[in-house]
Amino acid sequence: MNKKISLGATITLMIMAAAVTFSMTMIYYMDVFNGKVYNLKERETMYSKLSELDRIVRANYIDEIDEDALNEALADGYVIGTGDKYARYFTPEEYESYMVDLEGRVVGIGVSAQQDPSGYILVNEVYADSPASMVGLQAGDLIVKVDDLDVNAETYQQAADAIRGEEGSKANITYRREAEDTTIEVTRRKVDIPTVFSRIIDGNIGYVQVTEFNESTATQFSNQVDTLIGQGAQALVFDMRNNGGGTLSSVTKMLDKLLPEGDIISAEYKDGTVEVLAKSDENEIDLPMVVLTNNRTASAAELFTQALRDYGKAKSVGVTTYGKGTMQTVKKLNDGSAVNVTVARYLPPSGVSYDGEGVKPDYEVELTADMEANLENLDETTDPQLKKALEVVVSSLRGEGIEPSGEVSQPESGEVSQQSAEGESTAA
């Protein structure tokens, strides 16, 4: 009898458990279904409105509609309308240019240039070991002709594009220097765009400026840090001011060189899941470090700063950073265009997001508006933020019984190119 009751009770419990499981499963899938139905209704409303708008405009607009321009504008407007402030729509041409910028290399003659008020191509910077440097082109030269194309305000962009080309191809460049024109033949090749600039200050303090993070930045950074240490650097100052970020792979490689073993960066996705994106190994550089920041230090540059602080590897000097702690991904569309959309929130080693907050400095030092506008012209004698950074690392060195020698070397990769009001620099 007891066995029968026991068996019956067991069966009843199994039936009840199955019923509960079935009910919970049905509730879950009904929620999913309802969510999908809601999304479908929302999309139907959107498409219906767009269709109505299109019908009215086509029936009443007096002129012809440029269908290609309309499609591009619709795609751009959709991305803007999502409210994702970091999202962007790329035309096929913009996407191609964007990917070249991320690569950090250009097939050309190896210069940074912009339009001169006269319409000519003004050379701002000649990259080290580039085809342009080999033939004697200098910063300040005006390119007035590319092959058979005369450069002027109308042909500027065409001429700038013509400087770039297939690797191994040749270009005839006519430049003007001190009112004298000279024509040279230059062989195009792949050139890394300099994004890291370094020098020794006070004999044993390495200064490293990083202007952006592209796929070639990590290699430049590693080489120049090794060079500085080989020159006797016993402390490092990293200048991340005006660095708007770039590729995650680049900044994590750089941090791996500096940090001990552990997590570098994680991503928190829409559904709440967290994924570790990069780790550092046990190899690290054990030197006093300081990071310079301002309100235009953003994204990957903020991660660089925060990760070093989280591991107790560096102090920061300057002002609170921009506060962009989100991850975007680029998806290519069938016609060659693309969309860049925010997919996750970054978490630094501490696990505390800096998105919307920025990274607050350990030592707050502000610059005047004039100093900010002429930051590239300041040095350790005129830059209050850099002065403070040197003070911090010198204090650390003196705590270890090390004194600076007072010698100053020239930049390893040349000065950062200046930009005028006439337009932005471009690599060629």
Per-residue confidence in pLDDT tens, the chain, 428 aa? 444 455 555 555 555 555 444 444 444 444 444 444 446 667 777 788 888 888 999 999 999 999 999 989 999 999 999 999 999 999 998 888 788 778 777 889 999 899 999 999 999 989 988 999 999 999 999 999 999 999 999 999 899 989 988 999 999 999 999 999 999 999 999 988 899 999 999 999 999 999 999 999 999 999 999 999 999 999 999 999 999 999 999 999 999 999 999 999 999 999 999 999 999 999 999 999 999 999 999 999 999 999 999 999 999 999 999 999 999 999 999 999 999 999 999 999 999 999 999 999 999 999 999 999 999 899 999 999 999 999 999 999 887 666 655 544 445 554 333 333 334 567 77
**pLDDT at position 310:** 97
Tokens of 339: 């969309």
| Residue in 421, 347, 416 with CA at minimum distance from that of residue 193 | 416
Under 8 Å between Cβ of 198 and 228: yes
Domain ranges for the chain, please list them. 2-59, 105-192, 196-399
Tokens of 42: 């929302």
**pLDDT at position 43:** 73
Note the pTM of the prediction, 2 decimals: 0.77
For domain 196-399, give the fold: 2-enoyl-CoA Hydratase; Chain A, domain 1 (3.90.226)
**pLDDT at position 343:** 94
Distance, CA of 341 to CA of 86 (rounded, Å) = 7
Distance, CA of 390 to CA of 330 (rounded, Å) = 39
**pLDDT at position 414:** 42
**pLDDT at position 18:** 52
Q: How far is CA 347 from CA 62, 136, 255, 297, 302, in A?
A: 53, 47, 15, 17, 11
Amino acid at 128: A
**pLDDT at position 335:** 92
For domain 105-192, give the fold: Pdz3 Domain (2.30.42)
